[in-house]
Chains A and B, each alone.
Chain A
Amino acid sequence: ILNVEQSPQSLHVQEGDSTNFTCSFPSSNFYALHWYRWETAKSPEALFVMTLNGDEKKKGRISATLNTKEGYSYLYIKGSQPEDSATYLCGDSNDYKLSFGAGTTVTVRA
């Protein structure tokens, strides 16, 4: 049983379209929320670490928001490109241990 849930499990996006997906987590005893991008045959790459309610972070065309009171985070990809194809993992942490969701696998079609 995963405490961190991600939806959808997978999605297909046309190149140039924007998309978003969700991570929900227990709102009690919240410490930090992490987003990672994991491309096939590569290491998971940290995208964001978010700690404050209302946090919004941006890295290029990818951004994320955080609502700690209701226990959810959204990841947005603007103008999807084929190189955005990957599994996006979110995880919540105490001061050291990350508990991950199962991920959202994004496939961008040219």
Chain B
Amino acid sequence: GAGVSQSPSNKVTEKGKDVELRCDPISGHTALYWYRQRLGQGLEFLIYFQGNSAPDKSGLPSDRFSAERTGESVSTLTIQRTQQEDSAVYLCASSLGPRQFFGPGTRLTVL
């Protein structure tokens, strides 16, 4: 596609359930990033992929969070045993150079 796409656009889940968020980057972009924005806060870096490897996972807030990337393309962010503080907009971005192209985000609400 022409841009970065993410699915679902909205996800409402109950506390304790697992969720998977998907990102389809721009074709050919080797770098992929996950960020999140919680209410009233700035965009927070979570993880960076170069190809299928993640050299920087420093932003993942706990071991309940994991991400993978396959085929140097699609990435999945998984949150296990969701908590209310996980509620946020989760954004994915991809790049080939310094400029990052963002997807529309997934709004996650944990009840």
Nearest CB in chain B: distance from A82 CB, A: 21
Q: Given A43-B104, A44-B91, are A96 and B42 neighbors across the interface (CB < 8 Å)? A: no
B26-70, CB < 8 A from A: 31, 33, 35, 41-45, 48, 50, 56
Nearest CB in chain A: distance from B32 CB, A: 10
A96 touching B104, Cβ below 8 Å: no
Q: Given A43-B3, A49-B99, A98-B100, are A103 and B42 neighbors across the interface (CB < 8 Å)? A: yes
Return the chain A residue nearest B104 by Cβ. A43
Other-chain residue from A32, A42, A97 in contact with B104 (beta carbon distance below 8 A): A42
A4 contacts which chain B residues (CB < 8 A)?
A: 42
B3 touching A98, Cβ below 8 Å: no
B96-110, CB < 8 A from A: 98-105
- Residue count of chain B within 8 Å CB distance of chain A: 22
Measured in the bound complex, the distance between the Cα atoms of B15 and A66 in whole Å is 44
Q: Which residue among B31, B41, B45 has the maximum number of chain A CB atoms within 10 Å of its CB? A: B45
* A41 at the B interface (CB under 8 A): yes
Other-chain residue from A34, A45, A96 in contact with B31 (beta carbon distance below 8 A): A96
Measured in the bound complex, the distance between the Cα atoms of B99 and A34 in whole Å is 8
B45 touching A97, Cβ below 8 Å: yes
Q: Given A43-B3, A43-B103, A96-B56, are A32 and B42 neighbors across the interface (CB < 8 Å)? A: no
Other-chain residue from B42, B98, B105 in contact with A43 (beta carbon distance below 8 A): B105
Nearest CB in chain B: distance from A86 CB, A: 13
B105 contacts which chain A residues (CB < 8 A)?
A: 43
Contact with B along A1-13 (1 / 0, CB 8 A): 0101000000000
Nearest CB in chain B: distance from A66 CB, A: 14
Interface of A with B (CB < 8 Å)?
Answer: 2, 4, 32, 34, 36, 41-46, 49, 89, 91, 93, 95-103
Interface of B with A (CB < 8 Å)?
Answer: 3-4, 31, 33, 35, 41-45, 48, 50, 56, 91, 98-105
Q: List 5 A-B contacts (CB under 8 A).
A: A34-B100, A36-B102, A46-B99, A46-B100, A97-B48
